[in-house]
Amino acid sequence: MTQPLLQLTNISKSFPGVQALKGVSFAVNASEVHALVGENGAGKSTLMKILAGVYQPDSGEMRWQGQPLKLSKPSNAQKQGISIIYQEFNLLPDLTVAENIFLNREPRNRLGFVDWRRMNGEARALLATLETHIHPETLVYSLTVAQQQLLEIVKALAEDAKLLIMDEPTAALNPTEVEHLFSSVKRLTAKGTAVIFISHRLEEVLHISEQVTVLKDGQLVASQKAKGLSKQDIVKQMVGRNLEDIFPPRSQATSQTPLLEVKHLSTSALHDISFTLYPGEVLGFAGLEGQGQREVVRALFGLELLKSGEVRLNGQPLRLTQPRVAIDAGIVFISDDRKQEGLALPLAVRENVALPNLKTFSQSGFVNHQQEVQAVKSKVEAVNVKTPTLEQAVNLLSGGNQQKTILAKWLLKSPKVVMFAEPTRGLDIGAKVEIYRLIAELTGQGVGVVMVSSELLELIGMSTRILVMRGGKIQAELNGNTTEENIMLAATGVEAVSA
């Protein structure tokens, strides 16, 4: 039997009051993609930081190519050939691609100066191994997210990585970019590199991985071959419940009087969009990447310039020239980029929730702090934001709790329409279930919900109706209990089998 590249045996790690890992054992082989999955708090991040030399285990043994492995600092891991790519890239945007690849290892000429020609040539050769056309002298800030992801892989290759750990590598990529990334990963494994792939996207886990290891509450649940596994199998191992138990009962309209009416709406990306949203329903928007579904909700929030069309809320016309108009009318938006467009990351939970609601707590230009805290506390508790205090910096919360913080902020506005773009992107199954429950509570109160999502099962599980976009137009309207096949047929321009 082939000796594993990495063998972990009974790895345990605790922090004050928390047992992060308890007796975790599994092996990673050369040339394989090994997926590591589990809810937030399952121990994935702690385990990866142990492999990166950031933390040391309290007990247990690690072996690397059959030899005992001790990693007292990150440089030890790098010397062994273990590289980790975090969700937040470790790149210097004002330097070139080649400079980032060879940072602190620049090739020198005999006079001791940087040999730019050699460095760019070696960078070009490394980039070619992934069949990417990025130029070595391109400044990193001008690269797309997908290109930056590939650059991180090339950096690891330059350091002769034998094990590459990728933390949520596809979270910000579109489907085409994901396929390119997967092709690059396959080229790596074909040359002997092992990859630990951490992701909440279970369809991608099953597509790319040979082995799947599941953690729950810091303990190993299973380490198994990916072949033959289903998403349902993995979900049940992760959370102890079946996939069909994740979604609440599908919402239905509570009134036949329209809540939101959109007629012949056009922008630079949208063409003659018309639809109606009723109180108490979830109206889903589907489509291939870049077909206009994201632009619909941004236009209705005043973030896109309207060329023509009419929007009515409860029968009253709206001129959506800026977000303030939408917010004042009762239309709020939770962006797919919560860190850039939804939160002030350095600020506390209290400040984030209160920020757009300061007028509510103000008298004569002064904020009533006691009233503010009481109102924020009630909404934070209502959506179950898990935070030690309201003064906790929001950037220290998990992705799910950050998403719920944004929702708490808008619920103080008592909105009539809540629009979500990718409401559960980057969240684990447990956090997704909580978001779905909160959406169901909103619709139960007669709020209308518009939801844009690239996850077809999410749309089918949550939507009353689904509008499928193609080329900036509505291609089809389907009942919520449709199939993934029907959505894709409509998204690609083929008539749906049935509504």
What are the b/e assignments for 14-30, b being 16+ CB within 10 Å?
eeeeeebbbebebbbbb
Q: What is the pTM of this model?
A: 0.63
Report the distance separating Cα 265 and Cα 312, nearest Å.
11
Instruction: Write out the two tokens for 223.
Output: 């380490």
Strands, sheet with 211-216, edge to edge from the N-terminal-most edge strand:
82-85, 163-167, 194-198, 33-37, 211-216, 219-225
How high is the pLDDT of residue 159? Answer: 82
Average pLDDT, integer, range 474-482: 92
Do residues 448 and 260 lie in contact, with contact meaning Cβ atoms separated by under 8 Å? yes
Can you give the three-state secondary structure of the chain, one letter per residue? Answer: CCCCCEEEEEEEEEECCEEEEEEEEEEECCCCEEEEECCCCCCHHHHHHHHCCCCCCCEEEEEECCEECCCCCHHHHHHHCEEEECCCCCCCCCCEHHHHHCCCCCCECCCCCECHHHHHHHHHHHHHHCCCCCCCCCEHHHCCHHHHHHHHHHHHHHCCCCEEEEECCCCCCCHHHHHHHHHHHHHHHHCCCEEEEECCCHHHHHHHCCEEEEEECCEEEEEEECCCCCHHHHHHHHHCCCHHHCCCCCCCCCCCCCCEEEEEEECCCCCCEEEEECCCCEEEEECCCCCCHHHHHHHHCCCCCCCEEEEEECCEEECCCCHHHHHHHCEEEECCCHHHHHCCCCCEHHHHHHHHHHHHHEECCEECHHHHHHHHHHHHHHCCCCCCCCCCEHHHCCHHHHHHHHHHHHHCCCCCEEEEECCCCCCCHHHHHHHHHHHHHHHHCCCEEEEECCCHHHHHHHCCEEEEEECCEEEEEEECCCCHHHHHHHHCCCCCCCC
- Mean pLDDT for 221-235 is 91
**Which residues 6+ apart lie within 8 Å of 144 measured at CB?**
177
Mean of the pLDDT values across residues 305-332? 95
Q: Which of 3-7, 70-74, 88-92 has the lowest mean pLDDT?
A: 88-92
pLDDT above 80: residue 65: yes
Of 297 and 157, the structure prediction assigns the larger pLDDT to: 297
Which fold would CATH assign to domain 6-240? Rossmann fold (3.40.50)
Cβ-based neighbours of 190, under 8 Å, separated by 6 or more: 31
Position 499 confidence tier, pLDDT thresholds 50, 70, 90: very low
In this model, does residue 244 exceed pLDDT 50? yes
Mean pLDDT score across all residues of the chain: 89
Tokens 């209705």 belong to 300
pLDDT top residue among 146 and 444: 444
| Confidence band for 1, pLDDT divided at 50, 70 and 90 | low
Out of 14-23, 64-73, 371-380, give the one with best mean pLDDT.
64-73
Q: What is the mean pLDDT of residues 472-495?
A: 85
**Percentage above 90 pLDDT, the chain:** 60
Instruction: Compute the distance between CA of residue 178 and CA of residue 170 in angstroms, rounded to an integer.
Output: 6
* The predicted structure's pLDDT at residue 120: 94
Strand order in the sheet with 417-421: 331-334, 417-421, 448-452, 282-286, 465-470, 473-479
**235, 202 in Cβ contact below 8 A?**
yes
C-alpha dihedral, 486 to 488 to 493 to 499, nearest 10°? 20
Q: How far apart are CA 182 and CA 172, in angstroms?
A: 14
- Domain locations along the chain: 6-240, 260-491
Mean pLDDT of 181-200: 91
pLDDT of residue 370: 86
Residues 445, 135: Cα–Cα separation, whole Å: 54
Q: Is the pLDDT of residue 341 over 90?
A: no
Residues 6+ apart with CB under 8 A from 51: 6, 62, 71, 77, 82, 84, 163, 165, 196
Residue 242 has a pLDDT of: 63
- C-alpha separations of 316 from 166, 238, 257, 321, 329 in Å: 50, 47, 13, 15, 10
Q: How many CB atoms lie within 10 A of CB 127?
A: 22
In the predicted structure, residue 222 carries a pLDDT above the cut 80: yes
pLDDT of residue 258: 96
Gap between the Cα atoms of 430 and 60, Å rounded = 29
* Contact present, 221 and 237 (Cβ < 8 Å): yes
* 496 pLDDT higher than 50: no
Nearest to 412 by CA among 362, 368, 355: 355
The CATH class that applies to domain 260-491 reads: alpha beta
Work out the pLDDT band at 497, boundaries 50, 70, 90.
very low
At 422-457, the pLDDT tens digits run 998 877 777 888 899 999 999 999 999 999 998 888
Q: Which residues contact 244 (CB under 8 A, 6 or more apart)?
A: none
Query: What's the full length of the chain, in residues?
Result: 499
pLDDT band at 243 (very low <50, low <70, confident <90, very high): low
Q: What is the pLDDT of residue 498?
A: 41
